[in-house]
Amino acid sequence: MQVIPAIDIRGGRCVRLFQGDYEKETVYADDPVETARRWVNEGATNLHVIDLDGAKDGIASNTTHIQNICRRTEAKLQVGGGIRSLEIANHYKELGVSRLILGTTAVESPEIISSIIDKHGSESVIISVDAKDGFVALDGWTRGSEVTVKDLIRSMTEYGVVRCMYTDISRDGTLTEPNFQSIEDIIIATDMKIIAAGGISTVKSIKHLYELGVEAAIVGKAIYTGDLSLREALNAVE
């Protein structure tokens, strides 16, 4: 299992939100590239980078920072936020991004998912399943939908998607623990590879996710506050 540090970029700075609320933002660093280098120096080989401005507004807004991370680290990047067209997906792939994370597009324009898979392959796509009370949230978690988590995963399987990231929004940024039951239910219900996110703040939680069979765990706020050591988290699943 991989442990992947998160870098959320808003206004060019590294921030963390509490339960996805843009009004509850904490700034942890002014330089996303230096933050990326920090996590790579601590052992990360993959980075989870989200353009929060793009996620909310639907327009990729921090591509320069993401390009610089690609250029100045050797980590593989999975990038999300504002990827609403094949053109933007192509641009990120040209920059050197390994995997593209799509959430709102999966619900509202699934044909774009199909186009991206046709051009770049199924391994290049991660569907972001951001859950609030069992339903999928859109536009950087600012808008709800009537699509259930299981229905989205089922429909994306038909489009050839092989990997999804599940986040329980109510746990994100809370330093509590992941929604283990929901994660287990998804693992049982699908053959997709599952990436878990939201509330992961202890080595114990990471080991539990490993036992459940997730492919990767995204660690965010806890490594910024010091509640979790990235090195210890990585060593826990070696």
Q: Specify whether the CB–CB gap between 229 and 199 falls below 8 A.
A: no
Q: Specify whether the CB–CB gap between 164 and 197 falls below 8 A.
A: no
- The separation between CA 76 and the C-alpha centre of its own chain, rounded to angstroms, equals 13
Q: Specify whether the CB–CB gap between 152 and 126 falls below 8 A.
A: no
Q: pLDDT digits over 130-161, tens only?
A: 888 778 877 766 676 878 899 999 999 999 99
Q: pLDDT digits over 16-65, tens only?
A: 888 777 888 899 999 999 999 999 999 999 999 999 998 888 888 899 99
Predicted structure pTM score: 0.93
Q: pLDDT digits over 104-126, tens only?
A: 899 999 999 999 999 999 999 99
Q: What is the pLDDT of residue 134?
A: 79
Range 2-236: architecture per CATH: Alpha-Beta Barrel (3.20)
The catalytic residues are 8, 130
Q: How far is CA 131 from CA 53, 59, 61, 209, 224, in A?
A: 20, 22, 24, 18, 23
